[in-house]
Structure formats: structure tokens, C-alpha cells
Amino acid sequence: MEETLIINYQRVDIQREDQLVLRDVDWQVHSGEFVYLTGVVGSGKSSLMKTVYGELDIHTGAAEVLGTDMLKVKRRRIPALRRQLGIVFQDFRLLTDRTVRANLDFVLRATGWKRKAERKERIEEVMQRVGLMEKLDKMPYELSGGEQQRVCVARAILNSPKLILADEATGNQDVESGRKTVQILHELTETGTAVVMATHNNALMAEFPGTVYECTQQRLLRAQRPIVLESAPSELQLKESVEASDDDIPFAKISENEQ
């Protein structure tokens, strides 16, 4: 499969309000690549991901995401860019007043799927992929945290995106649920989808290898060698504490008015 450049940042400075978060970022992500972003709270992981989907603006260097020039893109064009992405959040962001099926159907209708039968078929395909077919007609509050996160993965892949962003996607899950989420995301790269995942769980990175970048001292540095554990990861190693977001700038939630 021929690789395509999905993200291409060159000499990019990333700011949050008036504060410099990362400087002189050179970062490339190709189709079918699984990329981990690591670093302590506040090091810039979330801010970097927010620039990819246009939540934070870029003013320096050169930056392209899926062929879109992120320095020149107009705000009205951002929703079109986001429709090419899948985003998995730590806090789920499911619509709590409707079933899982209705959550997914809402996204499909909002992104142009007109035929009810086609929407039904696609919803069942993605739910089968995440192993939750029996939960289709449940309300979000009837699901465990791990199940809700897998529904979020299903939502993210509805439109077969070329890029998935997962920001601390395993932070609110137990050990086995977190492993299952990363396994599903890792398998998506086999179809050419690129995945960028922010995490600080070394055991998951060792079990599901990928390219590792660290945000440290206002720099984005690529790890020189993959993370390898001397033995199989234990439950203690896999357990991941909930990490706060790097900043308080919220991603615009899906709403009927926005779509």
C-alpha cells in the first residue's frame, strides 16, 4: 500500500493564548501509521492535536493536514476538514438523551447520509467491529466506561476517516477495556488509516507498537527506539491514571445547529 502524507508540520510554533507551548515542531504522519504522543500534563500533547483539527490556530512555519494548509484555511472550511477526521475523546461526549444507535445515526445524517437503510447498515458494521452489536439500543448511561469509549471509536470510524485522533482515550477505562480500545485503533491502520494517540501508558505502547513522540521542554522529539518491556505487561503496569487535559479550550461539541 502506497503511503500518503497525512500530517506535515515544518518549523511550527504552537501557542495557547499568549503562551508558547511547543516550538519549531517538525512532524510527519503517513497513512497507515500509528503514532503515540507522550509527555507530562501540560507538555503540549492536547494542544498539538487541537491544531490538527483547527481548534487552535497556527501562525508560523508550514502545516498541512490532509492537504489543507492550516495557516491559510478559513474558519468556515474547518467543519469540512473535521468530517475527514475521526476524534476519540477521553470524556466520551455522547448525546445522553438518545440510544447508541441514535447517536451514530445523528452523525451520519449530519454528514450527508440520506438513505435510512444505508445508515442502518453502516451503524451495524462499525458496532460489529468494536464488538458491541448487542448494545445498539442501549442508552449511554447503561454502558460501562469501556463500552462507551468503544462506541466513541465506532462513531469516529463511521465515515471511514483517513486520520483518527485519540486524546487520552484510555484514561477513563479499566485495564482490559483500555487494551481493547487500543487494539481496535491499532487494527485500523491495516486499512491505511493513520492514528495519533496521546497517552502516557508505556505498557500499551509496548504491546501495540508505533512511532513515539515526546512533548518535553517545549519540543516535540521522536523516540530513537521503540518501548519494550522486559516481560509481559502486568495489570499494574497497564493501569492508567486519569490525566487532565493540557488546557481548558473545549472542542466544539457536535450540535444540530453546527451540523
pLDDT for the residue numbered 239? 45
Question: Quick one: residue 131, left, alpha or beta (phi over 0 = left, psi -120 to 50 = alpha)?
Answer: left
Enclosing H/E stretch for 194: strand 194-198
Which residues sit opposite 197 in a β-bridge?
36, 166
How many other C-beta atoms lie within 10 A of the C-beta of residue 162?
A: 18
Q: Helices in the chain by DSSP H: which ranges?
A: 45-52, 78-82, 100-110, 116-129, 145-157, 175-188, 202-207, 235-238
Q: How many residues in the chain?
A: 259
How far is it, in rounded angstroms, from Cα 106 to Cα 113?
Answer: 10
Partnered with residue 16 across adjacent β-strands are: 19
CA distances from 178 to 118, 242, 256 (A): 30, 12, 30
DSSP H or E run through 222 = strand 219-222
CA distance 167 to 46: 7
In degrees rounded to 5, what are phi and psi of residue 62? -130, 135
The whole-number pLDDT of residue 2 equals 64
CA 234, CA 250: separation in Å to the nearest integer? 34
Confidence at residue 255, expressed as pLDDT on a 0 to 100 scale: 35
Distance, CA of 62 to CA of 85 (rounded, Å): 20
Strands 163-167 and 194-198: parallel
Looking at residue 243, its pLDDT comes to: 41
pLDDT for the residue 225: 62
* pLDDT for the residue 44: 92
Low-confidence ranges of the chain (pLDDT < 70): 1-2, 171-172, 225-259
Fold held by 5-238: Rossmann fold (3.40.50)
Q: Residue 237 to residues 23, 30, 172, 173, 240: CA-CA distances in angstroms?
A: 32, 29, 16, 14, 8
pTM of the model: 0.83
Residues 6+ apart with CB under 8 A from 166: 87, 88, 185, 195, 196, 197, 198
> What pLDDT score was predicted for residue 232?
47
